[in-house]
Amino acid sequence: MIELFTWPTPNGTKPSIMLEEVGVPYSVHLVNLGSGEQRAPQFLSVSPNGKIPAVIDHNSVGGAKTVFESGAILVYLAAGMLLPDAGGRREQAMSWLFWAMSGVGPTFGQLMHFISAEDGSSPAAHRFLGEAVRLVHVLERRLGEAAYLADEYSIADVGAFTWVNFAMPTIRSNSRDALGATPALDRWLGDINSRPAVQRGLRAPKIVIGRAKPIS
């Protein structure tokens, strides 16, 4: 059994989607970010950076293993087509995964913060909107030449999808003409959203919210 420490956010649903995709049994521990549980010593012993998500794999050969950072968790859980063993597709998948982790997640996260702050037209909101639009254009160009980031569906798509899915309406409504049409990206979002494992993974932390006890 894998224990997943999470909260229903774009970073928190990457591992639940992945666990559903690979069919590994898991239990969800909610870490209530609103009440500061991410800073509790018990959680810091699992995730030293004080952020969700993190997992503990109790079935691992040689003893339980702890993994934090959503990108590291996707790599840890990956198997088969979701992370090809060798050949160009592996390098492609890793390149696009790191692009999503270092570009999409931080930029979209800051954008959502500054745009929903009191002064939604601050220089910071403007800067992150410009960078988010640039990243969307990179994604649109790639998905115009391949169905998925590494040609076939992989951890790179899971790594980028949750943030793009969450932030796209905000980016679209704020950027107006600068964004333009994104038919390839819209097709990619539709394909991924229609996967049953993705639908279950997106719901997993929310379903638990109603019945979970705080971690202690």
Binding site residues, ligand GSH, CB under 6 A? 9, 11-12, 33, 38, 50-53, 69-71, 101, 105
| CA distance readout (Å), 174 to 30, 36, 139, 181, 210 | 32, 31, 18, 14, 33
Strand partners, 164: none
Pick between residue 179 and residue 202 the one whose CB is nearest to ligand GSH.
Answer: 202
**Cβ of residue 102: shortest distance to ligand GSH, in angstroms?**
9
**Cβ of residue 52: shortest distance to ligand GSH, in angstroms?**
4
Pick between residue 52 and residue 168 the one whose CB is nearest to ligand GSH.
Answer: 52
**Cβ of residue 4: shortest distance to ligand GSH, in angstroms?**
12
Pick between residue 72 and residue 146 the one whose CB is nearest to ligand GSH.
Answer: 72
Pick between residue 12 and residue 84 the one whose CB is nearest to ligand GSH.
Answer: 12
**Cβ of residue 180: shortest distance to ligand GSH, in angstroms?**
28
Rounded Cα gap, residues 206 and 112, in angstroms: 20
**Cβ of residue 72: shortest distance to ligand GSH, in angstroms?**
8
Nearest residue to ligand GSH by CB is 51
| Region for residue 23 given its phi and psi (left: phi exceeds 0; alpha: psi -120 to 50; beta: otherwise) | left
Rounded Cα gap, residues 166 and 119, in angstroms: 21
Pick between residue 16 and residue 182 the one whose CB is nearest to ligand GSH.
Answer: 16
**Cβ of residue 51: shortest distance to ligand GSH, in angstroms?**
3
| CA distance readout (Å), 181 to 85, 157, 172, 174, 192 | 35, 20, 10, 14, 19
Closest by CA to 104, choosing from 152, 31, 160, is 160
Rounded Cα gap, residues 177 and 194, in angstroms: 28
What tokens does 98 get?
Answer: 């790191």
Pick between residue 67 and residue 179 the one whose CB is nearest to ligand GSH.
Answer: 67
